[in-house]
Amino acid sequence: MNVLIIGSGGREHALAWKLKQSPLLGKLHCIPGSAAIAALAACPEIAQDDHERIYGYCLAADIGLVVIGPEAPLAGGLTDFLTGKGIKVFGPSQKGAMLEASKQFAKDFMDRNGIPTAGYAVLYSAAAARERLAANKKYPVVIKADGLAAGKGVRICASEAEALAAVEDFMERRVFGAAGSKVVLEEFLTGREASVMALTDGESALLLPAARDHKRLRAGDAGPNTGGMGAVCPVEISDADMEIIRAEVIQRFLEGVKKERLNFRGVIYAGLMFTPEGPKVLEFNVRFGDPETQAVLPVIKSDLLPALAACAEGKLAGRGLELTGETCVSVVAAAAGYPEAPEKGRPITGLYDQAPGVQVFHAGTARKDDAYITAGGRVLAVAACGADVSAARERAYAALAGIKFEGMQYRKDIGL
Ligand code: AMP
Ligand code: GLY
């Protein structure tokens, strides 16, 4: 089977690496791909929102399965367009993608379907938001821009002044454009966080091992929020919590998807807070997490291709995935200036000849004169597997010590 991946980041590099190992794979393609992905897949110069040309490419390259990585093409309806023309796609419909593209839709969906989550209110104007905050006595509160904001549309506000500033930024200054036309005001939850992803064909679900990402820039959870500075998989979840995740999160998600005809064939990502009252959903993503995927895929022993194809075909029931039994620690190396203004164009050395069990997944690199240079904020992730988390950490940091570029920054405490 020929497979086309949509996307260009570290998550897609990891997907390409994993799918490339499948004995069922014919030729691998990736739109738009990256310099590193081009070592594994054909990467035609087509934009990921150019539906017509992607369809034309699927026909010309005899693509049997399209795997969509990022949220933007899902929210843009690429799945609906391609499936409408008979192409098999791993990735939910535009309506299903609303679970990520609109926080209001996601909260209302959870509310309608009895999925545990933080209490909330939707506010449709800055005036309504101010009125509500004036009456609010309990801080912190969480304020979220409704729409897609590249993971930056969430503010934990410790005081009314901070909350008012968030309302002004999101709803009046529109720092995230139309994404801030409404906001969700949410109860602040406390506890540890982890995420659980499940492959689904909209009828049944296959849980992947739980992962934890580290969102802050600096060790000890200090510094600004980022897209993610590293991840660990699996992380331990108690049997009691796991039962709630299965029965009250994933099962109710599936029931909601069926009832509301969301046509969801892909991966559902539940970002969870383990509160004193049990796990609650902080957010849904409708795609593989980044950088979680770079830590999850290395601990999956089974071939991933038949599972993804089964989701696209509505035939997931009864499938399982075998794990390696190891732990993977994936550490992101970011450029100087990340996340505000990352420096680019620095040569990278030490990328090759990694020890067994170590993979380097590229997120923001480019080729210049036969060598890799930095080309993004998060440059790469080193994913290392070991018998336990400390063995995996040791390998990951040993590998990172050999990789160099000017201004490279990474957290030393991933997995601790
Ligand atoms: P989200 O994009 O909705 O997952 O939010 C990003 C991060 O903000 C989460 O990973 C949490 O650390 C934090 N967060 C979001 N919602 C809440 C909440 N209701 N209570 C506490 N922290 C939250
Ligand atoms: N790592 C969180 C996300 O992919 O949104």
Ligand 2 centroid to 214 CA: how many Å?
A: 10
Statement to judge: residues 29 and 130 lie in one domain: no
Residue having the nearest C-alpha atom to atom 3 of ligand 2: 289
Is 270 touching ligand 1 by the criterion CB < 6 Å? no
Residue 23 alpha carbon to ligand 1 centre in Å: 40
User: What token pair was written down for 136?
Assistant: 């609010």
Alpha carbon of 282 to ligand 2 centroid (Å): 12
Same domain for 297 and 239: yes
72 lies in the same domain as 10 = yes
In-domain check, residue 116:
no
> Within this chain, do residues 292 and 206 fall inside the same structural domain, yes or no?
yes
> pLDDT, tens digit, for every residue of 335-367?
999 999 999 999 999 999 999 999 999 999 999
Which ligand does the CA of 71 lie closest to?
2
Which of 215, 290, 361, 414 has most ligand 2 atoms within 8 Å of its beta carbon, as the pocket-test mutant?
290
- Band of residue 225 on the pLDDT scale cut at 50, 70, 90: confident
Domain boundary among 181, 204, 225: 181
Atom 15 of ligand 1 has which residue's CA nearest to it? 282
Tokens of 298: 């290395």
Mean pLDDT of the region 279-283: 97
Check whether residue 66 and residue 164 sit in a common domain. Answer: no
User: E strands within 146-241?
Assistant: 154-157, 183-187, 192-200, 205-207, 212-213, 216-218, 222-225, 230-233
Both 55 and 140 in a single domain? no
This prediction's pTM: 0.96
Looking at the structure, tell me whether residues 31 and 72 fall in a common domain: yes
C-alpha span between 143 and 268 (Å, rounded): 23
Domain coverage including residue 137: 125-181
**Would you state the pLDDT for residue 152?**
82
Q: 185, 282, 285: which to mutate for ligand 1, most atoms within 8 A of CB? A: 282
Give a yes or no: residue 319 inside a domain: no
Best CA proximity match to 290, nearest among 13, 61, 31, 53 = 13
**What span, in angstroms and rounded, lies between the C-alpha atoms of 26 and 93?**
26
Q: Give the chain's domain count.
A: 4
Cα of 145 vs centre of ligand 2, distance in Å, is 16
